[in-house]
Each structure stands twice: as C-alpha cells, then as structure tokens.
Structure 1
C-alpha cells in the first residue's frame, strides 16, 4: 500500500478484555460479584486502557456508562457509575495533551466538526437507536459517523485503522424485528459505500464481514413483485406463510392448540412486527452457518475461499505491514534485494 492506509468494517470491539459483555460500567461488574477496582469495566478500559486511550476517534452510544450517579448528561439522563468517575472529562484532559480534541453529543455538532486530531462522540445514553427509529436531528447515521471518522483519521500520514460496527442489526434479529434488521443492514451498506467513495483503492483496504449469522430464512415461492415483509403463499394447512421467518425467537407462530396463527390477521407492515418463528424463545439465537467476507483494495484477493475467522487479522496485518509476522512490505523489500543482488552479481565466465 502507498501509505499504509487501512480501512476495515468488522463487528465487535477491539479494546476490552472482559468476561461479560454486560460489564459496561463498574456497577455491573460489582453486581456479578467481582471487584471493579481489579476487574475493570468496558467503559473504563475504553478511556484508560492501554489500547482504548490511544484511539483517536470514538463514536457511538452508552453515555451513561461514562458518567457517575448524581450527574446528568446533556439530555437529562443520569449517569450509572458508582465510582464517581466522569470518563468524558477524563478523556478531554488526556487528549488535550495530544492535539486539538472535541467531544460531541449530537448530530449537528458532528456534521459541523472542525479540524481536530481526537474525537469522542456519545449520542445516546445507552444503545444507539435502530435506524428506522433514529431521530436524525439528534443521532447521526452510521454513514455520517463513518465519514467524520475518516475525515479525522485520514490526516495521519502513517495511515489508520478504522473499525465500524452495524451493531443494531444483531439486536433487531434477536427481537425478530426483520424490518428493522434490514433497515440497519441498508444503513450499514450506505456506510460502506461512503467509505468506498471517499477513499482510494490504491492505498485503502476495505473489509466487510460479520462474526455470526442469524436464523432468518427467506421462503419461496412468492410472486414477482411481492412485499418481502409480506406473505409468500399458502401452506398445506390452508394458512399463509410469510416470506421471512425465523427458526426461533419471540414471534411464535402457533396458538395454544398447536395450530398456526393466521398471518392475514397480523399487521405485518409495522416496523416493530415480530416475524413468525417455529420455536418460542424470549430472544432469537445466532445460527451456525459460515458468514461471507468481502474485500476491496490492496491485497483484497487474499480474502477468498473458506477459512477460520482467526485468519482474518493475520491477513489484515500482512496487508497493512504491522505486527510481528511476515508482511507485504517485508516481502517487497526481500524481492528488491534479490533483484539488486542478481543485477550486480559477477557473471559466470568459461575457462
């Protein structure tokens, strides 16, 4: 790559060492029987951890995890921490020593952002909203956050690594909100497209993948032009089946007698409609299928075939010339040395 620029889309975090994904603040750690002064929570690690404190851009939700009890954020929501720490102020104090830094909490502040070296944006007190529920006057879109991040990071002559998650896709599937899940999938696709549009293929590697799939199924044989959120046809019991169903989850499709529910009586067009499932569960599960991976840019051809997920970071490290293993830059230097040694080698002479 020309300048080592690396851009990557993946799902899940890169900075926290934790035994429980719910340990977002010190209260949750203590509630589980651990000492939060020893077992640090996720928000604390993001601001103070060896990896997290070196991030130049942090954008997302969870504002109450960064504020102490008794202190309220810009929207009047109380903080959750018991340790009295204001991690937002901690970030401001630390980053002020490393360049111009800015903390933002709404969309307007983000889109009007000036020249900064460090950026922290916390737009909700907890999870970000589903894209179909998002208030565009308060919460930025994933595309807007992606563009802002690239704008800040691309000023680094040494290149950058950006990790973007469409995290609400997973949350919607767990609730069998198919319409919201696909809405956030489209929002994620828009963010990927924006990244493609504002970066160069000669020096930017973009990788898109997932950590798992869900039990959502696309059923046949719906007629041409059918609504994907509607009905596909009739089963042998004379009742309709939907184009989209889940194997399990909260949208159980049978009544107490074991007879399938007549979906024609449902309001399937609602964005929070729970799509039919076969097995009743409070939350839909992940599935066990392989997930795809797509890549564009330098060394994108290495992301092909079927392989274990732990291969991915090794290929990324190779392409971006970082880490302790063999890298593309190292191999390029070896090739150049071999060419020079061949060029200046003494020719063989016959006696």
Structure 2
C-alpha cells in the first residue's frame, strides 16, 4: 500500500489565554458540562499562560518524523490536524486535497483502543473527509501501538531515568505506579469491551518487565464529572495516600497513558500530585513521556512501513494474548463494535 502523505492527528490545545475557554467549549460541546467546571479547568491552562504543551510537542515530533524520512531518502510530506483546535483536521484535509494528496497514512497520538483512543479518531477522519467532499484523499489510520518495541523502550528508559533522580537510599524500595486517563465505566464498555483498560494493564506489564520491575500498580487520573458517575479507579491521588499509609517512602509515577506531556501530566502530576507527595513526606519521581523523541518518530515511520511494505507488526511478545487485533490494518480499529459505519476498511 503506497502513501503520498502522512497526517498526524491529535487532540489539540489552546496556544493563548484567549483561546482557553473556546477550546474547552469545543471539547465539551453537547456534554452538558457546567460553566463553573470549565472555568476550573481553564485555571489549569492559565497556570501555564493559557498555552497547552500539546501543539508545540506535536510540531516538534513532526520535525523529527521529517528528519527520519529525510535520512532514509524518502519524500513524504507530513501534515498536522487536530480534533478540537487549530489546525482543525478538516482544514488540513482540504489542504491535502488542494496539494494533490490521494492517499495518506494517519497517525493518531493515542496508543490505545476503545472509543476515545481509537473510534473517535476514526470518526474525526470520516467527518473531515465528509466536509472536504468527494475529492478528499483516502485516509488510512495506522494501528494501535501500545505494545510496539519502541513504545515499551521509551517508557522503560524513562522509568530508569526517573528512578535515578530519587535519593540513592530510596531507589530500591520505590513503588512503580503506572497511570492513564480515567474514563467513565459506561465509556469503557461503549464498544462492548473493556479494551482500553486491558491494553493499559498489558502495556504496563511489558514496560515494567523491560525496566526490571516485577511488581507495580496501575491507577487512573484526571477524572471529571459528577461523583455519582463511576469512573475507572483507583485515582492516582487516592492511591498515593494509600502508599503513604503503607509507609512507602518513594514512588515512581509513569504516565503510560500519555504519549506527550499534556496538560493532564504537567498539572495533575507535576503540580497536584507533587504537592500531595511533598506534604506527605514521600519522594516522588515522574517518568517522562515520549514527547518528540527521535525514537517516537521512528515508531511512526515504522507503522507506515508496516502497511507500505506489508510487514508483520512490530510487537513485544508476552504470555498473555494481545488485547485487540493482530494485523496492521485491522489494528487501526478498536473493536468491530467500535468501527464507525462509514469508515470502510482501506483497499490495497
């Protein structure tokens, strides 16, 4: 399968104080989120000057992807589109059409299956193509990559780097805690499966083993909405309090659910959780995310080549079955029940 472009598809984020509320309104449109809740979340962004790190990180990643392609002597233009903020994906797809792009690979900045991590990006693709019309290029979403060797290596190395920042006497007893974005339990089963949760746990096992840890915890973060709505638990803050009660003296937190330092990482972990740990007298080290590492760019290009060259998917093997599809094309979809009706499987 040949491609004449690559589209990096992401969530989007504000890049100035005046953009914060319009961005949050885009994200929550139709969900009935109270204004006061949006204003509370807006304060997190305003803490950083109203700028989300995500767009800058994605642009830096695109530069790395372009460098990897150039080093291989390949001429593949890379485009950037977002779901919730400029550059909007439908505008990017229109530009791709105008530039004569006929078929593009789509890399989504989510490693996971489930609705939010997979099917919603399929819906973004379908919506963008519909807005552009019949001349829109074919868009082929690349597979989920939570078990890709480079994904595992990047997080394993990040854990080792984080451990090295702890006082030497606390490193051996530090508790490893993986965290990912919580979702409502009803969303976890929206596609008829708990695929997202199972993939997070599966990837955590792979990364822990690669980093040399036999025991670890998996927790969740960044929940919102009324307390009456059940979400994936335990919350990372509640879990830290439990570790304090168990007299754990040091914790390494690995935000495995995030491929970049999103606002949920730099606010929820680097600010709120760090303050909680300091108040409790526990040493806390936060592992980095892939961000714009060259290895992450190599992962992206590798996913394109799996389809371009009909290669077997690069995966870290484990005793347990991989939660999700096994092939590159099928792996682009989260589950059969989640696949958008209008998102036909690509032809070769």
Structure with bigger gyration radius: 1
**TM-score greater than 0.5 by the shorter chain:** no
Higher relative contact order (CA 8 A, sep 6+): 2
Give TM-score scaled by structure 2 length: 0.30
Specify which structure has the higher proportion of helix. Answer: 2
Give TM-score scaled by structure 1 length: 0.30
